[in-house]
Amino acid sequence: MKAIQHITLAALATILAVGASSEASAQCRSFTKKRCLPKLEEYVQNDNYNTAVLIPGDEAELSLTFFGGRAYRLLVCGHPVLGDLDFQVLDARGNGIYDSTDKDANHFDFRVANTQQMIVRVQVPQSSAALQHEGCVSIMIGSKG
Amino acid sequence: MHNPRTRRLSGAWSLGALTLLSLAVLAGCGESAPADDANSATQQELTTAPEEGMMPTTRTSALKKIFHAVPSPIETALLLEASGVNFSTDDLNDAGKASGYQTTGLQAVNLGIYAGDLSYATIFNRNQEAIQYLNVARRLADELGVGDLIDGALIERAEDNREVRDSLIHIVTSTFYALNARLKENGMEDVSGLIAAGGWIEGVYLGTRNLDGATEELKTRIAEQKLTLDNLRSLLASYPSTEDLAGMIAELDAVETAFAGVEIVEHAANTSTTDDGLVVISGGPEISVSDETLAAIAEAVAGVRNHYAN
């Protein structure tokens, strides 16, 4: 009987974990649509969905190609519970192009003269709070001519 | 081709009762996300409960999440238009073939191919074709289980805005963004990757149909796709392998071989700032390509495209 109870509890815990993960993903989709997409303003959004549930101390990295002659908005949009996210833009060789640290902005507007691959790195700050929260982080790209 | 949906659904019945119980518990845990569709995206009030998108975590060790992105079909179509490509209906995949794609793999890749055609028609103001291809996308999205994202109301809104290119662009990009999000949320990253691959293939295919009259800018744009092919292959390799994903990666080998003829000399990027404060990033790779290499790329891409579309 005890074995059956253990199996049932384990199954329930697994299903709750999966359910919570699915709930978090669904909330991220809604969060991104309402809180992040509007910040692209007149830029045409890229249709890649680069969103994850992160916790303090996590990092995210995005590799992509930016085309010469186009202007871009790179938007790093995270839930406020995670604090101020820092992000850097690096060229294909790993050289720094932009660093948001100490800047009060969650986006970087720029124009690309020559097509090139770049890497975007995002850091979620550490937290000393007793109860740690996870939150949605979305890296969004919009472009215009 | 293998149908992963069948695989994912297997075993679901055995957990049904426990799932129902768990859902009852979860129902009290937070706000349910509303149905995500492009139609409601612009209409929904831009407010959200403060707790939405966060919750206490049980995870204690930090991780690094890696994303790979490819240009959206709309972005590629905009580049083609600016490079002097002429629109030709004959180059598009026949809309009538959609009902013949019977497996998940073929449906996903061809949804991407049709997304490329839809974007191409939209950017070139071919409104009748754009609406036609949106309807085809609806059919395939339905087959993939995400048809609610391209519903009748969305088609009607597209019809109402058929003369307003920016509105159609917004409809197309927000629809495919929502589609990608839903597929990833449902654990169907492989399908999302195949759609991205189809869109990439169709973009390069359309750009290489008439190389004899190609401008130098178009030739450069085609050559630059060597970089985005790297992004695409990394994207596909980042998902748990399936038969369809492995098949696509193998098909792209021939395209990669053709692109090997594109010469890239790497230079460091550098930045400057315009008078109005905009940062300009220059430097980076120097790209060159011969007409022979372009012809090889055109042939290789057509081979992959027709493998899936015909």
Number of H helices, E strands in chain B: 12, 6
**What is the per-residue burial (b if ≥16 Cβ within 10 Å, else e) of A17-33?**
eebbeebbbbbbbbbbb
Domain boundaries, chain B: 69-309
Question: Cβ–Cβ of B185/A91 closer than 8 Å?
Answer: no
Element (H, E) at B68: strand B64-68
Q: How far apart are CA B310 and CA B308, in angstroms?
A: 6
Q: Does the beta-carbon distance from A62 to B68 stay under 8 Å?
A: yes
What are the C-alpha distances in Å from A125 to residues A54, A55, A83, A140, B163?
Answer: 11, 9, 7, 19, 47
pLDDT in tens, chain B (310 residues): 544 444 443 444 444 444 444 443 333 333 333 334 444 433 433 444 657 778 888 788 889 999 999 999 999 999 999 999 999 999 999 999 999 999 999 999 999 999 999 999 999 999 999 999 999 999 999 999 999 999 999 999 999 999 999 999 999 999 999 999 999 999 999 999 999 999 999 999 999 998 998 999 999 999 999 999 999 999 999 999 999 999 999 999 999 999 999 999 999 999 999 999 999 999 999 999 999 999 999 999 999 999 999 9
Output phi, psi for A141, to 5 deg. -125, 130
Q: Is B59 in Cβ contact with A55 (below 8 Å)?
A: yes
Q: Which of B111, B297, B109 has the alpha carbon at shortest distance from B206? A: B297
In eight-state DSSP terms, residue A106 is S
CA closest to A41 among chain B residues: B170
Residue with tokens 């790329």: B297
Domains defined for chain A, CATH in brackets: 32-144 (2.60.120.380)
Cβ pairs A/B, distance under 8 A: 249
DSSP A140: E
A58 vs B55, B65, B67: nearest CB:
B65
Is the pTM here over 0.95, yes or no? Answer: no
Q: What is the ipTM of this complex?
A: 0.85
Query: Would you call A48 and B65 a contact, using CB atoms and an 8 Å cutoff?
Result: no
Burial of B82 (0-12, 13-18, 19+ CB in 10 A): middle
Rounded distance between C-alpha atoms, residue B208 and residue B291, angstroms: 11
Binary contact (B36, A33; C-beta < 8 A): yes
CA distance A66 to B70: 10
- Could you tell me if B274 and B280 are in contact, meaning their C-beta atoms sit under 8 angstroms apart? yes
Query: Among residues A35, A125, A24, which one has the least CA distance to residue A83?
Result: A125
**A-contacting residues of B 142-201, CB under 8 Å?**
169-170, 173-174, 176-182, 184-185, 192, 196
What does B105-172 look like in DSSP terms, one character per residue?
Answer: HHHHHHHHHHHHHHHHHHHTT-HHHHHHHHHHHHHHHHHTT-GGGG-HHHHHHHHHTTT-HHHHHHHH
Q: Rounded to an integer, what distance in angstroms lies between the CA atom of residue B176 and that of residue A30? A: 15
Q: Which of A116, A55, A1, A126 is closest to B269 using CA atoms?
A: A116
- The first and second tokens of residue A114, run together, are 């020559």
